[in-house]
Amino acid sequence: MGGCGSDRGGPLDWPAARDRARGAGERAAAAVREVPLAQALGAVLGADVRALTGVPAFDASAMDGFAVAGPGPWKLVGAGLAGAPVAAAGLAPGEAVEIATGARVPKGTEAVLPYELAERSGGRVSGPVRAGRHVRWTGEETAPGETVLTRGRAVGPAVLGLAASLGHETLPVLAPRVGVLVTGAEVTTSGLSGEGLVRDAIGPMLPGLVAWAGGRVARTVHLDDDRGALAEAIAAADTDVLVVCGSSSKGPADHLRSVLADLGAEVLVDGVACRPGHPQLLARREGTTVVGLPGNPGAALVAALTLVVPLLCAMAGRPDPAADPDPVPLDGDVDAHPRDTRLVAVRLERGRAVPVGHDRPASLRGAALADAYAVVPPGWSGGAVELLHLP
């Protein structure tokens, strides 16, 4: 779907730009960091995880009923609830303890007789049992020290629950740290747009997009159109990736290129032949990869899907959730551009892509209504197209 693009001194075609972002991420793999469980969701494990305790950690009842020892009928000698010690230190043959699900069974327990199978009379209980039945024995699910999760596993809710049950407070993850600089004297972070002020839409959008790709936004800073402040912020960056919003074009207030040149950065992508989102930039300096996004929110989203998402996924060693190589038919009246790739917001209906409109560079309305972008290559004359999925 397009060639390799131009050299690093000019715009790349859209597929080549995504490839270059992936390559940059592979060369700058994120370091493994221990993070609290609450911060690990969506990241990728950077090391194997072993059980710090067995599961179960003690012999426990799997049913509400009676823990019994030896043949019945059994004499009731106590009761035990989950989280509390049992009344009896141990059971002798012919004895039973009333017990709740999850409670620790006394020493000597051979089985648990569920309430629904039990008959109780005069301080004794009887019913059918089978040795070992309805008891969760120590370590039968997971032994202490056993490897339960391996490097490369995505951390979902079940992984977090399992890690907690095994005694972990933190997890070792590959989660690139991302700093965000939103530039523009006209950008405000609260209130209504108007009278020359524009409400920031990119800052609130990026953390979710970054997390979807496996990264974490460490901080978001807003700057005026001040070259010195921008240079200072980039020089002081200590994150794996720095996303600069609104200074990637070539207008009088767009200082990103000249600042990166002064700092000796290596420019990997200088413009992408796509609409919207043409003024994108990818550069590398001293351990930080810098991504420049356009100031228009719709264009910034396309640029982030083009460069930020594949970059972060490669750094974290995970698949790109946006990419979908299976073409689908594109409905509607869509005109291809003669030179640039068009990204058209679409919803998916019965295996077909249907444009939703509202996809001007300054608008996020189309993206908010859409399931994906249809990737319309230059000169396209109809037929199926690839998709770029939205979170």
Say if residues 294 and 304 touch (Cβ distance below 8 Å).
Answer: no
DSSP code at position 157: H
Q: Which residues of 79-110 are buried (b: 16+ CB within 10 A; e: fewer)?
A: bbeeeeebebeebeeebbbbbbbbbbbbebbb
Residues 6+ apart with CB under 8 A from 77: 87, 88, 91, 95, 96, 97
Percent of the chain with pLDDT over 90: 78
Q: pLDDT tens-digit profile of 222-260?
A: 999 889 999 999 999 999 999 999 887 777 778 899 999
Distance, CA of 378 to CA of 2 (rounded, Å) = 8
Name which of 152, 171, 173, 154 is nearest 163 in CA terms. 171
Say if residues 332 and 354 touch (Cβ distance below 8 Å).
Answer: yes
Beta-ladder partners of 61: 135
Q: What are the tokens at 63? A: 């049913």
Residues 6+ apart with CB under 8 A from 101: 61, 62, 63, 64, 82
Q: pLDDT tens-digit profile of 176-190?
A: 999 999 998 889 888
145: left (phi over 0), alpha (psi -120 to 50) or beta: left
Q: Please, is 299 exposed, middle or buried when counting C-beta atoms within 10 Å of its C-beta (0-12, 13-18, 19+)? A: buried
- The confidence score (pLDDT) of residue 86 equals 54
Please give the mean pLDDT across all residues of the chain.
Answer: 91
Q: pLDDT tens-digit profile of 105-127?
A: 999 999 999 999 999 998 999 99
Distance, CA of 26 to CA of 292 (rounded, Å) = 19
**Exposure on the CB side of residue 19, measured as CA atoms within 13 A:** 10
Q: What are the tokens at 158? A: 């079940």
Domains and CATH numbers, the chain: 12-30+176-321 (3.40.980.10), 60-136 (2.170.190.11), 324-389 (2.40.340)
pLDDT band at 148 (very low <50, low <70, confident <90, very high): very high
- The confidence score (pLDDT) of residue 8 equals 47
Residues 6+ apart with CB under 8 A from 382: 330
Which residue is it, tokens 């524009």? 198
